[in-house]
Amino acid sequence: PKNADSYDYARYHPINEIYSFQDMLVAENPKLVSKIVIGKSYEGRPLNVLKFSTGGTNRPAIWIDTGIHSREWVTQASGTWFAKKIVDDYGRDPALTAILNKMDIYLEIVTNPDGYYFSHTSNRMWRKTRKPNPGSSCIGVDPNRNWDAGFGGAGASGSPCAETYRGPKANSESEVKSIVDFVKSHGNFKAFISLHAYSQMLLYPYGYTKTPCKDDTELHSLAKKAVTDLASLYGTRYRFGSIINTIYQASGGSIDWSYNQGIKYSFTFELRDTGRYGFILPTNQIIPTATETWQALMAIMNHTYKNPY
Amino acid sequence: KETFEGHQVLRMYAKNEDQLALINDLEDNHEFELDFWRGVTDVRTPVDVRVPHHNLRSIKIHLESNAIDYSIMIGDLQAMLDEERMEMVSAARVPE
């Protein structure tokens, strides 16, 4: 594609095309979008974050990441669609315009680029990073068990061959540490949203402990509002609640870490499941998935905007 | 390139907490080489697991001997991946 308008949002793209898309979007919207490279993956790929900002310095901000589990292709595809949606809606949609006039949005579309590349070239079912594990023939770490939040506890594996291997220590993966360093140095994130697939759930902290987080009541009602908005388009039904009560115990997860950093509005999504395809969600599902998810994202972003803390 | 000929994705339905625990135990059992696509949550929610072809027979016997209901969500994963790849290749050729 020669520009972001002719990019085909309704299909899955290899990583070089997503990188090109990001550069096109920045070039076409220099006053709104910039690209920040927050680090490098193990194999040396840039960890690109798109910053949507209308000005100001160190404004309160919203973090969104997609694709930390590489095989969940609908998340990277949805992230690409979100980026274009933000550009298209700024100045047209009053709610998004108000948010962007006061806050910045940071979007990392390919959070695990080595895994994403590998899932396109060698193993479509790859979930983890691609860093070798000393003493093991098995490769990679589950980057959503590698955060410093209950790290090493139940709900993550200590075996390098497991799909949920937590890694040798918290933040051992550059893909995770780069976000940690960036979010800490920024210091003004007010929402942190991670997108996964599939199971149709909207979850909030905690995953590593049964102890309810102190904002449990507010997060629960916000999740309810978000999944109601999501369902308004196609009737897609989501379950919602804390990770440990809704799915299972999981330690070392991203939103438990972000919440413990003081980012109150920390959520993770499990996107659409047609009931037949799992991670091989057909391409005709991409735009409906992204469109309905956007409703929920707007609910969370709007609540964050209207409830400063 | 890793392929998945004959791998199936089984959708398992636990009828009670005991069966749920049995499925949960499978996740820690590396002998079957299972890949949990959708993990264990509660009895209302099915569990989706990719099973390599060479372990299909033993895992199905294990499920049936424990009276755990299951259905075949994906009959041949590689066939579905091939379809996905064909779709991507043909979509990429359209501009050409």
pLDDT tens readout for residues A114-125: 999 999 999 999
Q: What is the pLDDT of residues A72-104, one digit of tens each?
A: 999 999 999 999 999 999 999 999 999 999 999
Give me the residue from A8, A161, A248 closest to B39, CB to CB: A248
Determine the distance in angstroms separating the CA of A199 from the nearest CA of chain B, rounded to an integer.
7
Q: What is the mean pLDDT of residues A12-39?
A: 98
Q: What proportion of chain A, given as a percentage, has pLDDT over 90?
A: 97
**Neighbouring C-alpha atoms within 13 Å toward the C-beta of B22:** 18
Residue B28, pLDDT score = 78
Query: pLDDT of B34-83, one tens digit each?
Result: 999 999 888 989 999 999 999 999 999 999 999 999 999 999 999 999 99
A160: closest chain B residue by CA: B30
ipTM of the complex: 0.94
Instruction: Quickly state the pLDDT bin for A150 (edges 50, 70, 90).
Output: very high
DSSP A51: E
Q: How are strands ordered across the β-sheet holding A201-204?
A: A33-40, A46-52, A104-108, A61-66, A189-197, A265-271, A201-204, A239-242
Dihedrals phi, psi of A261, to nearest 5 degrees: -80, -5
Q: Scanning every residue of chain B, which has its alpha carbon at the shortest distance from the alpha carbon of A124?
A: B81
How far is B47 from B7, CA to CA, in rounded Å?
16
Q: Which band of pLDDT confidence, cut at 50, 70 and 90, is reported for residue B90?
A: confident
Positive or negative: CA dihedral A171, A172, A174, A176: negative
Residue with tokens 């360093």: A181
Give me chain A's average pLDDT, please.
Answer: 97
Asked if residue B9 has pLDDT above 80, the reply is yes
CA distances from B62 to A144, B30, B35, B38, B57 (A): 30, 14, 16, 19, 9
Under the banding of pLDDT at 50, 70 and 90, the label for residue A2 is confident
Q: Do A125 and B4 touch (CB under 8 A)?
A: yes
| Residue A215 backbone phi and psi in degrees, to 5 | -105, 20
pLDDT at A48: 98
Interval A259-296: pLDDT, tens: 999 999 999 999 999 989 999 999 999 999 999 999 99
| pLDDT number for residue A103 | 98
Q: Do A11 and B87 touch (CB under 8 A)?
A: yes
d(CA A20, CA A290): 20
Determine the pLDDT at residue B38. 94
- How are strands ordered across the β-sheet holding B69-74? B35-38, B47-51, B8-13, B69-74
Which residues, 6+ apart, have CB-to-CB distance to A152 below 8 Å?
A158, A166, A170, A251, A252
Question: pLDDT of A188-234, one tens digit each?
Answer: 999 999 999 999 999 999 999 999 999 999 999 999 999 999 999 99
**Could you say which residues from 252 to 291 on chain A have a Cβ atom under 8 Å away from some Cβ of chain B?**
273, 275-280, 282-283
Q: What is the pLDDT of residues A236-250, one digit of tens each?
A: 999 999 999 998 888
pLDDT at B95: 67
Instruction: Pick from A117, A125, A128, A242 the residue to mutate for testing the B interface (most B CBs within 10 Å).
Output: A125
B37 contacts chain A (CB < 8 A)? yes
Phi and psi at A259, nearest 5°, equal -65, -45
CA atoms within a 13 Å half-sphere pointing along the CA-CB vector of A252: 27
**Are B30 and A283 within 8 A, CB to CB?**
no
pLDDT of residue B96: 66
- Which residue of B30, B77, B81 is in closest CB contact with A161? B30
Q: Are A194 and A67 in contact (CB under 8 A)?
A: no
Beta strands in A90-223, from DSSP E residues, in sequence order: 104-108, 189-197, 201-204
User: B27-42 pLDDT, tens per residue?
Assistant: 878 889 999 999 988 8
